[in-house]
């Protein structure tokens, strides 16, 4: 199966985002990952939907929007209208998960559910037949540049086995601390989308770093 790279722009400087997006547009990454944080669901704040809207014109790449916010229902229309192609929200919020799934699907946008490291994958079993992707967090959500949590590998394997056994049409994305080595562990365990932030942005050239990561797995 093809491995999709989803560079997380959180690793870049927000003062330079237009250039970051145009570099990623030239790279082999299929997705661009947007980390939306509300300072409540996670202990950090990033940006809202306007940021995504304002960058949408720069590229036709898939906008992979990761909502780390508590009040998804209240703001969902904004992220739909911003031109998101995939919207993933967290299972750990106190909202009606099925309603959110169908609202996103009704707008012809792909939908994902993300789970924190301590959340068992079985908690989202009932939704798996209705969603397009799962994000397994391999760090505690909130910050880029953290170390990969090896103890999430078993979760990826178990979810992947369930997906295969039940012939579900679902992508498994991993997010946090991804590099060549940790990415390989995740791909071997059954993931097929790699989010990478600091690993890519810490290198001199974002385009070649992204292409190297892509070529390593494809």
190 binds, among Zn ion, ligand DX5, none (CB under 5 to 8 A by kind): none
Find the shortest distance in angstroms from Cβ 43 to Zn ion: 15
Tell me the number of residues near Zn ion by CB under 5 A: 3
Length of the chain: 218
Which run of H or of E encompasses 217?
A: helix 206-217
Does 66 bind Zn ion (CB under 5 A)? Our answer is yes
Does 186 bind ligand DX5 (CB under 6 A)? Our answer is no
Is 25 annotated in the active site? no
> Which residues lie closer than 8 Å to 136 by C-beta, 6 or more apart?
114, 115, 121, 152, 155, 156, 159, 172, 173, 174, 175, 191
Find the shortest distance in angstroms from Cβ 39 to Zn ion: 16
Which stretch, 85-93, 160-168, 175-183, 202-210, contacts Zn ion (CB under 5 A)? Answer: 175-183
Asked if residue 3 lies in contact with residue 28, where contact means CB atoms within 8 angstroms, the answer is no
Does 35 bind Zn ion (CB under 5 A)? Our answer is yes
d(CA 188, CA 49): 34
CA atoms in the 13 A half-sphere facing the CB of 15: 0
Residue of 218, 214, 216 lying closest to 31 (CA atoms)? 214
Residue of 180, 191, 190, 173 lying closest to 214 (CA atoms)? 180
> Which residues lie closer than 8 Å to 74 by C-beta, 6 or more apart?
none
3-class DSSP assignment, residue 52 = helix
Is 35 annotated in the active site? yes
Find the shortest distance in angstroms from Cβ 129 to Zn ion: 24
Tell me the number of residues near ligand DX5 by CB under 6 A: 21
Task: Give 54 or 140: the residue with its C-beta nearer to ligand DX5.
Answer: 140
Does 176 bind ligand DX5 (CB under 6 A)? Our answer is yes
Task: Give 83 or 145: the residue with its C-beta nearer to ligand DX5.
Answer: 145
10 binds, among Zn ion, ligand DX5, none (CB under 5 to 8 A by kind): ligand DX5
Does 142 bind ligand DX5 (CB under 6 A)? Our answer is yes
List active site positions: 35, 175
**Which residues here bind ligand DX5, judged by CB under 6 A?**
8, 10-11, 33, 35, 66, 139, 141-142, 144-146, 175-178, 195-199
């Amino acid at each position: 199966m093809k491995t999709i790279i989803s560079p997380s722009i959180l690793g870049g400087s927000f003062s330079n985002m237009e250039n970051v997006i145009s570099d990623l547009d030239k790279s082999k990454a299929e997705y661009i990952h947007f980390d939306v944080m509300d300072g409540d669901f996670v202990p950090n704040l990033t940006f809202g939907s306007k940021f995504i809207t304002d960058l949408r014109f720069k590229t036709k790449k898939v906008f992979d929007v990761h909502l780390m916010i508590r009040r998804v229902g209240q703001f969902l229309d904004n992220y739909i209208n911003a031109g998101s192609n995939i919207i993933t929200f967290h299972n750990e919020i106190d909202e009606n998960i099925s309603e959110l799934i169908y609202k996103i699907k009704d707008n012809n946008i792909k939908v994902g559910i993300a789970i924190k490291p301590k959340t068992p994958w079985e908690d989202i079993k009932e939704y798996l037949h209705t969603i397009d992707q799962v994000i397994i967090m391999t760090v505690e959500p909130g910050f880029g540049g953290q170390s990969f949590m090896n103890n999430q590998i078993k979760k990826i394997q178990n979810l992947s086995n369930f997906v295969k056994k039940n012939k579900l049409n679902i992508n498994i994305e991993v997010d946090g601390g991804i590099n060549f080595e940790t990415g390989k562990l995740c791909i071997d365990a059954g993931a097929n989308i790699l989010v990478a932030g600091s690993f890519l942005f810490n290198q001199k050239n974002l385009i070649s770093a992204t292409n190297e990561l892509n070529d390593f797995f494809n």
